[in-house]
Amino acid sequence: MRSLFCLLFLLVNPLPAQQPAASDRKLETLLLMPEPKAMRGAYSITLPNSQQTVLTCYRESTAALSGVETYSVEAFTKLGLSVESFAARAKTAADKRLLQLKPDLIKGEDGRIAYAVYRGESPLYATLLIAPSLPKIFAELFGQEIWVVTPDRHSLYIFPAKAELLEEFAADLAERYATDAYAASCEIFSIKAGAEPRVVATFGGEDP
């Protein structure tokens, strides 16, 4: 599982894909944020086969240092939604954000596209994990199945589904996840059109 992360950390540091500043647009209220299982709360759900990650209901907030905050019981009750209904709407909202962004396409030593990345200052990039259009956007480039990595809230990496690439520098990615103040997930997600993201491995090297 290491050579993919060798590409990830040694090839290039791509320029971030920027989102509009929160002060210039309406704040997002339907965010499903990947985060470590230890952060699980009343408004969290788990993806298929995931052992280390939950998706938690968040909203943007100018008062929060990180730019996003979880819902209090009172605030969530006012929405009039179940967690499941919130998640469904959050997917639609994530799709709208995704379609407004352009990823950086990173070439390998052979000159071919090795992976794509969405990355920037916004804390919303990790929420693109659940966007239904994500596998469709990369189907022509990487095939019908993609593998997605989001170690922190500010980045989302998309790779072709090739296990032989996942061998180098997994430890470096694990360290980034462990040391980032806003870690998202230490798991690798397989995504196909029409299906929920499903965990296929972790940064630690063992399949779930």
Q: Are strands 104-107 and 113-119 parallel, antiparallel or unpaired?
A: antiparallel
Same domain, 126 and 197: yes
Q: So what's the pLDDT on residue 137?
A: 96
In a shared domain, residues 57 and 79:
yes
Last residue in a domain, options 48, 72, 97: 97
Give dist(CA 202, CA 208) in Å, integer. Answer: 7
Residues 14 and 26 in one domain: no
* Any domain includes 207: no
Mark whether 80 and 118 lie in a shared domain: no
Do residues 114 and 107 touch, judged by C-beta distance below 8 A? yes
* pLDDT reading at 27 higher than 50: yes
Residue 122 is classified by DSSP as: -
Say if residue 4 is exposed, middle or buried (CB neighbours under 10 Å; 0-12, 13-18, 19+): buried
SS3 call for 85: helix
Name residue 136's amino acid: K
Which of 63, 97, 131 terminates a domain? The answer is 97
Shared domain for 90 and 114, answered yes or no, is no
Instruction: Please write the tens of the pLDDT for every residue from 164-184.
Output: 665 654 676 778 788 888 999
In a domain, 35, yes or no: yes
69/10 same-domain check: no
For the chain, the domain total comes to 2
Mean pLDDT of 6-20: 43
**Domain end among 97, 131, 149:** 97
Query: What domain range includes position 26?
Result: 22-97
Same domain, 108 and 83: no
pLDDT-based confidence at residue 6 (cuts at 50, 70, 90): very low
Position 14 scores a pLDDT of 41
